[in-house]
Amino acid sequence: MLKTTVVCFLASYALAFACELSQLKRRHALTRIISLLLAVAGLVAHTFYLLHRSKQAHLPPLLSSAHDWLLVVAWLAVLVYLFVTLADGELAMGLVIWPVILTLVITSRFVTDSPSYRLDYHRNWKMLHASMLGLGTTFVLLGFVLSLLYLWQHRRLKQRLMANGAVKLPNLELIERLNRWAILAAVPFQTFGIATGFGLSIFAKGGELPMTWTDPVVIGGAITGALMGVLFVWLLTQKRSPGRQVAMLTAWACGFLLVTMLGLQMLTAAVGMRSIHGSAPATTPEAAVEGRAP
C-alpha cells in the first residue's frame, strides 16, 4: 500500500486553497481545474494515510486515536467540498471550507496519535459512539461553513455591493435551508454520540480507562452538545426567525463547538492531562512507534 504522510495531503490542500484565493482576483478555468486536481490528489493521499494507520493499529481510523478521528472528519469535509464543487464549480465554498479543513489537519498533528488498545469490550458500541460523533461534527462543520457564507452574502446585500464576478455565493434562501438541515442533522448525531459515550463509561470493564467527571474533553463535549441542543430546540420551535439571526447563532455555536473540541484535544495532549479521549497511552510498544505527535 502506498505510504503517505500528513504533510503530503496537507500540502495538496494548502495549494488547492491558494488556487481558490487566486480565483478572487481573476477567475480562470485552468486554476479551477488545478484546484480540483489538487483536492482530489490530497484526498487520495489522505485516504491511503488513513488506511495505512488503520492497518498498523488494527483498528478503524475512527477508533484508533484522536489524531485519526480528526483526520476522518477532515476527510469527510473534503468529500463534501468536492461534491459541492463538482455540482457547481462557481460557488465560493472553498474559500470558507479550506481554512476549516486545514485547521483540522494541522490540529491533528498536535493531538495524541497513539492507538488506544481498548477495544476488547463493547467494540460495536464504541464504533457507534465514534461514528455518531464524527458525523455530528461533520454536520456542525458544515453548519459553520454555511453560516459564514450566509453572513458574507447578507453583508454584501445589505451594503448593496456589486457581486464580485470572481466569487459566486449561494442565495440566502438556499443557504438558510441547508444550514437548518445541517443543524437538524448534527444535533441528533451529537446527542446520540455523547449518550453512547456516557453509557460506555458507566459500563466500562476491567482494563479500560474509566470516565471521570473532571475529564476536560467530556465536560467540553457535554457543554457544547447542550448548547447545540438548545439551538436545535430553538430552531424547531421558532415559526420563522430572521435568517441572519439563525446564521449568527449557528456560526457562534458551531464555531464554539469546533474550537472547544480541537482546543481540549490539543490541551490534553500538550499537558498530558488525564482524559479518556485525549492522552491515553498506548498499551503496546509497537503502537507507539508510528507517527507520534510532535
| CB-nearer residue toward other proteins: 153 or 268 | 153
Binding mask 160-189 for other proteins (x = CB under 8 A): x-xx-x---x-xxxx--x------------
Residue 242 is a binding residue for other proteins (CB under 8 A): yes
| CB-nearer residue toward other proteins: 209 or 235 | 235
| CB-nearer residue toward other proteins: 157 or 259 | 157
Residue 32 is a binding residue for other proteins (CB under 8 A): no
Signed CA dihedral, 44, 49, 52, 57: sign only: negative
H-helix or E-strand spanning residue 247 = helix 243-271
- The upper half-sphere exposure of residue 287, i.e. CA atoms within 13 Å in the direction of its Cβ, equals 18
Residues touching other proteins, count (CB under 8 A) = 22
User: What distances in angstroms separate CA 186 from CA 21, 70, 76, 144, 223, one per listed residue?
Assistant: 29, 16, 14, 11, 15
Distance (Å, rounded) from C-alpha 73 to C-alpha 107? Answer: 12
- Asked whether the beta carbons of 115 and 287 are under 8 A apart, the reply is yes
Cβ 157 to other proteins shortest distance, Å = 5
Which residues lie across from 91 on neighbouring strands? 168
- Judged by CB under 8 A, which of 2, 157, 226, 271 binds other proteins? 157
- Asked whether the beta carbons of 170 and 91 are under 8 A apart, the reply is yes
Cβ 172 to other proteins shortest distance, Å = 5
| CB-nearer residue toward other proteins: 8 or 175 | 175
Residues in touch with other proteins (CB under 8 A): 153, 156-158, 160, 162-163, 165, 169, 171-174, 177, 238-245
